């Protein structure tokens, strides 16, 4: 099941796509990673989905990654006396701690942490930004606001505070329970929602203890502002454009996406671009031209993966959506300008031996027209450093650890293979050359680049480049 593209595809599972047959069809259509949204998934259902995906993995004899996406703190209003109220632009509206049902003048905000953190002049967005308030008076148990953009508001609609850093953890009690359940069943990646600061990621990593990679979802301005610090802790980043587009001006989101993508490339961390990529395919068998351009732009930027949410989870055409994204990626990567765009975005290697080795491997492989770059990796670090270089030849990651192979399914251009641990360097060379031919990346007699760490099996010890020739029949 060799993919004909470097960009990876993440497909969200849901009511339209959770049975074994559909999961198999999604994988064949191009899904490399399956996302399970813990906002809508019980622990029992999580266990069933993981078992179904692992059965598919065994059937197709290919590693498949599973991403469990934690819900994060959901900030919502209280209830209204009539179930709804109309807020007029220019009027005053109060958010307080009173349990009484709300009306057009006030409503309960059952989040004291927001009231305590608000400052005069801070913006509050209700119902995905449809209603905009600005705080004019703030206190420990109430906030008086001016309605800048009015409209109809109903019970328990969401609240966003783009100007305010809320002093609470990104993990709720539900998230902690979901995290433990996800780690117990062996998911490969954990996505942390509404990350504001590096401590939010560090908290999850402390619980995960290396059992899964931790992906920080950037969907708040506070997370964007502290991205450098967050990047030091996170194993990967997701550009969650839905909430980001609520809390930031819409016109700033594309530039933010580009900056995050390039920063991830510089750090050598995988980046997933998500939300509304093929939104019209929830109800239509074909996407809009604008959606195709949106997906293509993310691929031209060098994103490691692009993600489908409701399109594959609840849409009428989940398999078609994955297939469409697969075809877009293949076509973009065949475009004559793709390689030049990717090369122009390449950062200088970091001043480490591993980065120098990775850059050298890419340079040698391209200049000498090598068939493939084979990375021998225990932890996945070697493959990540080579993938950072975005080489023209394909990347094969050979690893004895199935968990490493699965985790690498989200990384640009990496074709992971699980093989037994080689006993010595000669055995590793033989295994690398045979694998390159067996997997269809090289013909007999062609040359490959082997990148590894010596002594073998030492995590993070990338220190060797070797040119090897594949066996001739």
Is 211 known to be catalytic?
Answer: no
Range name among 28-37, 163-172, 355-364 with the lowest pLDDT average:
163-172
Give the helix/strand (H/E) hosting 363: helix 353-367
- What confidence category does residue 166 fall into, taking pLDDT thresholds of 50, 70 and 90? confident
Residue 170 has pLDDT above 80, yes or no: no
| pLDDT for the residue 303 | 97
Kindly state the tokens that stand for 114: 């927001």
- What confidence category does residue 325 fall into, taking pLDDT thresholds of 50, 70 and 90? very high
Is 258 known to be catalytic?
Answer: no
CB 260 within 8 A of CB 227: yes
Per-residue model confidence as pLDDT tens digits over 205-218:
999 999 999 999 99
Q: Find the catalytic residue in 3, 45, 74, 76.
A: 76
Residue 272 has pLDDT above 90, yes or no: yes
Entry field: residues in the chain: 473
| pLDDT for the residue 465 | 94
- Report the phi/psi class of residue 390: left, alpha or beta, with left for phi > 0 and alpha for psi in -120 to 50: left
Query: β-pairing, 236-240 with 65-69?
Result: unpaired
CB 203 within 8 A of CB 176: no
Query: β-pairing, 84-87 with 151-154?
Result: antiparallel
**Of residues 309, 240, 231, 241, the one with CA closest to residue 270:** 231
**Of residues 1, 4, 8, the one with CA closest to residue 274:** 8
CB atoms within 10 A of CB 426: 9
Decide: helix, strand or coil at residue 279: helix
Q: Phi and psi at residue 286, in whole multiples of 5°?
A: -130, 150
- Report the phi/psi class of residue 210: left, alpha or beta, with left for phi > 0 and alpha for psi in -120 to 50: left
Kindly state the tokens that stand for 251: 């016109």
Measured at the alpha carbon of residue 430, what is the angle toward residues 424 and 434, in degrees to the nearest 5? 145
**Of residues 236, 240, 246, the one with CA closest to residue 193:** 240
**Of residues 90, 152, 144, the one with CA closest to residue 126:** 152
Cα separation, 393 vs 436, whole angstroms: 12
Q: Phi and psi at residue 239, in whole multiples of 5°?
A: -90, 95
Per-residue model confidence as pLDDT tens digits over 111-123:
998 999 999 999 9
Residue 257 has pLDDT above 80, yes or no: yes
DSSP 82-102: TSEEEEPTT-EEEEES--SPB
Residue 128 has pLDDT above 90, yes or no: no
**Of residues 359, 353, 50, the one with CA closest to residue 185:** 50
Residue 461 has pLDDT above 80, yes or no: no
| pLDDT for the residue 460 | 66
Range name among 6-15, 183-192, 193-202, 459-468 with the lowest pLDDT average:
459-468
Alpha helices in 30-188 (DSSP H): 43-60, 112-117, 173-185
Cα separation, 88 vs 372, whole angstroms: 63
Q: Phi and psi at residue 92, in whole multiples of 5°?
A: -100, 135
Give the helix/strand (H/E) hosting 107: strand 106-108
- Mean pLDDT estimate for the chain: 94
| pLDDT for the residue 57 | 97
Kindly state the tokens that stand for 408: 């690498």
Range name among 28-37, 57-66, 221-230, 349-358 with the lowest pLDDT average:
349-358
CB 11 within 8 A of CB 322: yes
Is 132 known to be catalytic?
Answer: no
% the chain with pLDDT above 70: 99
Cα separation, 430 vs 309, whole angstroms: 42
| pLDDT for the residue 299 | 97
Query: β-pairing, 106-108 with 92-96?
Result: parallel
Give the strand order in the sheet containing 142-149. 106-108, 92-96, 142-149, 131-138, 123-126, 159-160
Residue 183 has pLDDT above 80, yes or no: yes
Q: Find the catalytic residue in 123, 275, 382, 470.
A: 275
**Mean pLDDT, rounded, for 12-30:** 97
Q: Find the catalytic residue in 5, 6, 217, 362.
A: 217
Kindly state the tokens that stand for 32: 């490399």
- What confidence category does residue 269 fall into, taking pLDDT thresholds of 50, 70 and 90? very high
C-alpha dihedral over 432, 434, 438, 440, to 10 degrees? 60
Alpha helices in 111-226 (DSSP H): 112-117, 173-185, 198-208, 221-225
Q: Find the catalytic residue in 8, 35, 220, 269.
A: 35
Q: Is the dihedral of CA 176, 177, 182, 183 positive or negative?
A: positive
**Mean pLDDT, rounded, for 45-63:** 98
Cα separation, 203 vs 154, whole angstroms: 34
**Mean pLDDT, rounded, for 321-336:** 97
| Domains in the chain: ranges and CATH | 8-72+170-337 (3.20.20.60), 84-160 (2.40.33.10), 353-469 (3.40.1380.20)
Is 76 known to be catalytic?
Answer: yes
Residue 462 has pLDDT above 80, yes or no: yes
Range name among 165-169, 181-185, 257-261, 363-367 with the lowest pLDDT average:
165-169
- What confidence category does residue 354 fall into, taking pLDDT thresholds of 50, 70 and 90? confident
Burial class (CB in 10 A: 0-12, 13-18, 19+), 368: exposed
């Amino acid at each position: 099941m060799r993919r004909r593209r470097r960009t990876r595809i993440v497909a969200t599972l849901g009511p339209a796509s959770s049975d074994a047959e559909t999961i198999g069809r999604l994988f064949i259509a191009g899904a490399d990673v399956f996302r399970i949204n813990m906002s809508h998934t019980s622990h029992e259902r999580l266990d069933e989905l993981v078992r179904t995906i692992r059965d598919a993995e065994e059937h197709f004899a290919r590693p498949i990654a599973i991403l469990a996406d934690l819900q994060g703190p959901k900030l919502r209003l209280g209830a209204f006396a009539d179930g709804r109220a109309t807020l007029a632009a220019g009027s005053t509206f109060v958010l307080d701690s009173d349990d009484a049902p709300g009306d057009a003048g006030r409503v309960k905000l059952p989040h004291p942490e927001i009231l305590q953190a608000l400052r005069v002049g801070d913006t509050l967005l209700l119902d995905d930004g449809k209603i905009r308030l600005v705080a004019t008076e703030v206190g420990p148990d109430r906030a008086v606001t001016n309605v800048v953009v009015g409209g109809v508001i109903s019970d328990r609609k969401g609240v966003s505070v783009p100007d305010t850093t809320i002093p609470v953890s990104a993990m709720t009690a539900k998230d902690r329970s979901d995290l433990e359940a996800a780690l117990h069943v062996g998911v490969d990646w954990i996505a942390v929602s509404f990350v504001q600061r590096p401590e939010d990621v560090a908290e999850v990593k402390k619980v995960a203890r290396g059992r899964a990679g931790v992906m920080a979802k950037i969907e708040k301005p506070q997370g964007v502002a502290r991205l450098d610090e967050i990047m030091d802790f996170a194993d990967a980043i997701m550009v969650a454009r839905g909430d980001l587009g609520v809390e930031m001006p819409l016109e700033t989101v594309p530039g933010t996406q580009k900056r995050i993508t390039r920063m991830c490339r510089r750090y050598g961390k995988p980046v997933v671009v998500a939300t509304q990529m093929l939104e019209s395919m929830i109800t239509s068998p074909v996407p809009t031209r604008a959606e195709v351009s949106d997906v293509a732009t993310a691929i031209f930027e060098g994103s490691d993966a692009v993600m489908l949410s409701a399109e594959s989870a609840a849409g009428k055409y989940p398999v078609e959506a994955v297939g469409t994204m697969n075809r877009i990626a293949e076509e973009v990567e065949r475009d004559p300008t793709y390689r030049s765009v990717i090369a122009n975005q390449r950062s200088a290697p970091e001043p480490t031996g591993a980065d120098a080795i990775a850059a050298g491997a890419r340079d040698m492989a391209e200049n000498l027209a090598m068939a493939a770059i084979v990375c021998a990796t225990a932890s996945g670090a070697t493959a990540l450093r080579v993938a950072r270089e975005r080489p023209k030849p394909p990347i094969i990651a050979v690893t004895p650890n199935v968990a490493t192979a699965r985790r690498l399914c989200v990384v640009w251009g990496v074709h992971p293979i699980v093989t037994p641990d080689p006993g010595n360097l000669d055995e590793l060379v033989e295994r690398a050359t045979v694998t390159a031919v067996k997997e269809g990346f090289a013909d007999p007699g062609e040359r490959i680049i082997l990148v590894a760490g010596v002594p073998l099996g030492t995590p993070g010890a990338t220190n060797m480049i070797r040119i090897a020739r594949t066996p001739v029949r």
